[in-house]
Amino acid sequence: MNRTADSSSKTLSAFQYRNASSRRTERKRLYCEGVTVADLAKRFGTPLYVYSASAIRARFRIFDRAFKGIPHTICYSVKANSNRSVLRLLAALRSGFDVVSGGELERLVRISRKTAAKSVFSGVGKTPAEMRAALKTGILLFNMESEAELHALAACAEGMKKVAPVALRVNPDVPAETHPYISTGLHQHKFGVPMQRARELYAQAAKYKYLRVAGISVHIGSQIRDVKPFTAAMEHVAALVRELREDGHTIRYVDAGGGLGISYQHPDLSDENSISSAEDFAAQVNQYAEAVMGPLRSLKVHLLLEPGRSIIAPAGALLTRVIYQKNNGTKKFLIVDAAMNDLIRPSLYSAYHEIVPAELKEHTPTEKVDVVGPICETGDFFARDRELPASEEGDLLALLDAGAYGMVLTTNYNTRPSPAEILVEGKSAKVVRRRQTVSDLMRLER
Ligand code: LLP
């Protein structure tokens, strides 16, 4: 490994084990950058979301660099993790943003108008109020998903006498291997307009005085590990760009959406570089970039990308403490203080998250356990029949790769306040969202 890859691999690994010297036993402690997760849990309590600022930056830069061969803007997908400190950090790297609601847009507006202006607005049900807010801000692109939406935007734009730059999100009808709930690019899905109808709808759009055709967009799903479906989608898009240009439309932007998956499995955690190696991520993103850019090469377009998970998931973890252990004769349960309301991915998508102890002691035997939360549902689990180093009540665990679709999907089910969020940089740890209180939860009720 050369030196640059080696040093960025250190920043890329948001979480790493390091040896803790002790005369009696060999121990390794889990760190987020320069602080132990044990220290963070002690200071801020659990359950706790922890993010590494350096890892977010390193991942963004690797992603950006992979597309250097083509004019492009990375529009980080706000839905993956919308904490404003995270957004600010990305805005400072000159990221653009992908928003899907007036609320997400407002988060950007509160950072700065300039930040909000670098956003694309996607989603099948943008309301007129949301469209007006985006028109007022002056965003980069409206990704329109139906004829009805196109008409509604035209009416809003006309009313405000403001021109809206539009793209149609097309549905390329390509299958991508992922969980059915997060696959979006098939004809049967609610997203986009069928390829066959695109030309007719572009013709309609071009007739509106206050709509300006500016691009085309596509997004085939999320957590896609094989890059071939991206190429298939972009081939369809490239063919359509040619047709639309022949029809006289100006297609400057091609928005390729998000969707690049990550590996949630980390078989050798004790190796310092294994949690996320720089080379792995760079190689994977380069492969993805090739897959996306290939079909567009001769087209002279400005490429937009909307990554969420691949930037932020591995940069975050959810810390939780074992409250009790319980053995029912055939099964052992670790009951932890985080639950499905704090991280819903295992319950909702049968998602796998690596679970690792804050302190790894040498010669600790492993045991097969179910890691479950305190919520009154059988679906409230983080792992089933998982072989983990034996732990005790009071031990601290980290659920890895929880930086994306973790905090944003929290609920208050069982009147459980949401965790705090901490942004770590070097040895500094800042609360970027305080823990909710039960009073917070009742504030809006009569
Ligand atoms: N662009 C659009 C239009 C999207 O719908 C999405 C994600 C993205 C970009 C970002 O995709 P990413 O790069 O993060 O894959 N809650 C699920 C994931 C839902 C993804 C929804 N759309 C999960 O926890 O796996």
Is the domain of 345 the same as that of 211? Answer: no
Q: What is the pLDDT of residue 5?
A: 41
| Residue whose CA lies nearest to ligand 1 atom number 24 | 405
Looking at the domain assignment, is residue 213 inside a domain? yes
Torsion of CA 125, 128, 134, 135, to 10 degrees: 140
Cβ neighbourhood burial of 91 (10 Å; 0-12, 13-18, 19+):
buried
- The string of pLDDT tens digits covering residues 34-88 is 999 999 999 999 999 999 999 999 999 999 999 999 999 999 999 999 999 999 9
Distance (Å, rounded) from C-alpha 133 to C-alpha 156? 10
Looking at the domain assignment, is residue 1 inside a domain? no
Looking at the domain assignment, is residue 415 inside a domain? yes
Looking at the domain assignment, is residue 436 inside a domain? yes
Query: pTM of the full predicted structure?
Result: 0.95
Final residue belonging to a domain, choices 296, 311, 326: 311
Q: What is the pLDDT of residue 8?
A: 52
Amino acid at 387: E
Final residue belonging to a domain, choices 249, 281, 311: 311
Backbone angles phi, psi at 332, to 5 degrees: -110, 135
Distance (Å, rounded) from C-alpha 355 to C-alpha 227? 27
| Residue whose CA lies nearest to ligand 1 atom number 22 | 222
Ligand 1 atom with the shortest distance to the CA of 313: 14
The yes-or-no verdict on residue 4 having pLDDT over 60 is no
Is the domain of 125 the same as that of 250? Answer: yes
Looking at the domain assignment, is residue 6 inside a domain? no
Q: Is the CB of 81 under 6 A from ligand 1?
A: no
Looking at the domain assignment, is residue 178 inside a domain? yes
Ligand 1 atom with the shortest distance to the CA of 223: 15
Cβ-contact 145, 161 below 8 angstroms: no
Q: What is the pLDDT of residue 322?
A: 98
Q: How far is CA 427 from CA 12, 188, 430, in A?
A: 16, 49, 10
| Residue whose CA lies nearest to ligand 1 atom number 7 | 222
The yes-or-no verdict on residue 362 having pLDDT over 90 is no
Mean pLDDT of the 18-27 span: 78
- The string of pLDDT tens digits covering residues 90-131 is 999 999 999 999 999 999 999 999 999 999 999 999 999 999
Looking at the domain assignment, is residue 300 inside a domain? yes
Distance (Å, rounded) from C-alpha 360 to C-alpha 356? 8
Closest residue by Cα to residue 310 from 350, 359, 276: 276
Mean pLDDT of the 242-250 span: 98
Amino acid at 240: L
- Say which CATH number the domain at 286 has: 3.20.20.10
Q: 156 an active-site residue?
A: no
Distance 120 CA to ligand 1 centre (A): 14
Q: Is the CB of 341 under 6 A from ligand 1?
A: no
Looking at the domain assignment, is residue 5 inside a domain? no
Scan for tokens 């977010």, then name that residue.
Answer: 56
Mean pLDDT of the 341-350 span: 97
Distance 259 CA to ligand 1 centre (A): 6
Domain count, the chain: 2
Is the domain of 393 the same as that of 408? Answer: yes
Final residue belonging to a domain, choices 270, 291, 311: 311
- The string of pLDDT tens digits covering residues 418-427 is 999 999 999 9
Is the domain of 366 the same as that of 380? Answer: yes
For 405, the domain range is: 15-52+314-442
CA 380 to chain centre: 22
Eight-state DSSP code of residue 354: -
Mean pLDDT of the 340-354 span: 97
